[in-house]
Structure 1
Amino acid sequence: MDIPQSTKSLGVTNEHDIELRLKENGLEIGGSYKPKYCRSRNKVAIVIPYRNRKVHLIIFLSYIHLFLQRQQLEYSIFVVEQTDGSPFNRGMLMNIGFEEAQLQSNFKCFIFHDIDMLPENDANLYGCPEDGKPRQMAFTIDIFEYKSTPDGYFGGVTAFSIKDFRKVNGFSNLFWGWGGEDDDLFQRLSFHNLTVTRPFDGLPNLTSFARYRTLYHTEEKPNPERWRLIQEGKWRFQTDGLISLQYRRLFIKFKPLYTHIYVDIKKY
């Protein structure tokens, strides 16, 4: 399957045309979709942390909606945008998306998705994982030459049941800047004896179906505190996360392609 590098892949040239095309496919306001001719076994919330990547957002949305609809999923897309002023905090934005999405509908599970990663094959199903078995979706990635990601890798695209995400207390809220929050999350899974699964576990000949291509972006400045925070994480699992989440929602807008949640978060 070809991965679109521009909105021309939809046969359109701007965001408005994309909205019209997807509306014709049955997409509802707020970036929500329900199959017309069958009942989906899954109702999935897709949460995307976001700041200052407009081109990536358009490419991602133009691609992922059609990908999910071909799988006959019932889903909604939530883009959680952080204001300027503080370093980007991916983990906290994921936590906010988890809490805010549940105010909108009764979802069965959540997929936390970086905006620059595109699944290459429809066989990589975005359905709900079992309780106790959170899923690492990105098995092989182009920037790693499509080699299998390490067993301890739990980033990029991950899927959780609501029960499991609450059990681990979500992401840490303390990782400001690039890196570390996904490693901390993996430690939380191990601490709570949850089993990380990956697409096509036990079927090595099919792992190529779980390939991802990344959209180019400049490298972010790493968080210099990330290693210390990871090492100290086990002392904070119960107190740092969903239970300690603090933010100010500035607005929520139900746009044609997604639900836009704009928040202000502070580094204390």
Structure 2
Amino acid sequence: MMLPPRGPLPSIDPADYGARLAIVIPYRDREQHLSRLIPHLVTFFERDRLARAIPYEIHIAEQAPGRSFNRGAIKNAGFAVAHANADYVVFHDVDYLPIWADYSRVHEPTSLITWGVQEAAGDGPSNTPGCALALPVDDFVRINGYSNDYWEWGFEDVDLQQRIRLAGLGWSRRPGTFMPMPHAHHGVTSEGAANPGTQRTRAIYLAKGAQGAAGFGGEGLSTLKFRVERTAQWVRNGAPLPQVLHHHIVLE
């Protein structure tokens, strides 16, 4: 992978590097990605001369089997278990490795990636807030988190964009390079068309849009029902990492 030149270092406010970060990783059935991402992230925060100043925790939010995957709801659940010890949160896809990235505190919803996004086939805008999205804790609560309505694949990120816009919040993007790991686009057929699951989530999104502002934000964090079955520390080379917690979560 050819990487672009690293951009200028961010302007450094010491307070931004002392703020507490929670990284939430929505997860199910992607062990080959998770086993690469966690050691990579931990090493990144150990070695990067700016990131190593950030007090951080990583929360793996794994949805239990039995229901279709719901990225929005499992992100909400991860936030719910993590936010008490955080000033801001980064929702981090399991299949993207940071090469150059600025994880310091954000003051509005902020995408941390500029290089490395793979364009997905099928429906939906290409500039949706995926891969690594940072928000102040208060802003995420203000927009009522992600929607819980999108089971199967897609549109929870587009819904989130509407929540951010309707709340009158700003939006920014930081220079950042991430390496995507090979992964399937579960929302499309082999011919590149939206599969039935994506068609269903698209219909849900369009129905919300038809209601205007009332269609977004009425459900989310405030209506989420879940329980944590168990939580375990991640182990590296036989030693537990107290800053990396793996939560097994049942969505109800």
Shorter-chain TM-score bucket reads: 0.7 to 0.9
Gaps of 5+ in 1: 4-38, 145-149, 200-206
Relative to structure 2, which stretch is displaced further, 213-222 or 41-50? 213-222
Q: What is the letter of the counterpart of residue 92 of structure 2?
A: H
Distance 1:65 1:168 in 2: 30
TM-score for the superposition, normalised by structure 1: 0.73
Alignment of 1:1-268 (within 5 A): 40-69=17-46, 70=48, 71-72=51-52, 73-103=54-84, 106-121=85-100, 124-130=101-107, 133-141=108-116, 143-144=118-119, 152-199=127-174, 207=175, 210-221=176-187, 222-231=197-206, 232=208, 234-255=213-234, 256-257=240-241, 258-266=244-252
Q: What is the alpha-carbon distance in structure 1 between the residues aligned to residue 226 and residue 61 of structure 2?
A: 12
Deviation track 1:192-240 (CA, whole Å, cap 9, x = no partner) reads 11111001xxxxxxx4xx1221111222145322222223154343421
Change (3 A) 1:238 1:40: closer
For structure 2, list consecutive stretches of 5 or more residues without a partner in the other structure.
4-15, 120-124, 188-196, 235-239
CA contact (8 A) 1:82 1:88 kept: yes
Give aligned-pair identity as a percent: 30
Paired residue for 1:15?
none
Quick one: structure 1 residues 88 and 112, their matched pair in 2 at CA, closer, same or farther if it must change by over 3 Å? same
Q: Within 2, Cα distance between the matches of 1:152 and 1:117?
A: 16
Q: Relative to 1, partners in 2 of residues 1:229 and 1:140: Cα closer, same or farther, differing over 3 Å?
A: farther
Q: 1:2 to 1:68 in 2, by over 3 A?
A: farther
Aligned residues: 212
Residues 176 and 223, structure 1, Cα contact 8 Å, conserved in 2 = no
Take 1:45 and 1:229, find their aligned partners in 2: how far apart are those partners?
30
Instruction: After superposition, give the CA deviation of every residue in 1:38-73 in whole Å (9 maximum; x if it has no partner).
Output: x94121000001111111111001111111232222
Find the counterpart in structure 2 of residue 17 from structure 1: none
TM-score (norm 2): 0.77
Q: Counting strand residues as a fraction of each chain, which structure ranks higher? A: 2
Quote the offset at 1:152 in angstroms.
4.5
Residue 172 of structure 1 and its aligned partner are, at CA, apart by 0.2
Q: Report the secondary structure of 1:253's partner residue.
A: strand
Q: Over aligned residues, Cα RMSD in angstroms? A: 2.4
Q: Could you tell me how far apart the structure 2 residues matched to 1:95 and 1:87 are?
A: 16
* Inter-partner Cα distance in structure 1 for 2:113 and 2:178: 6
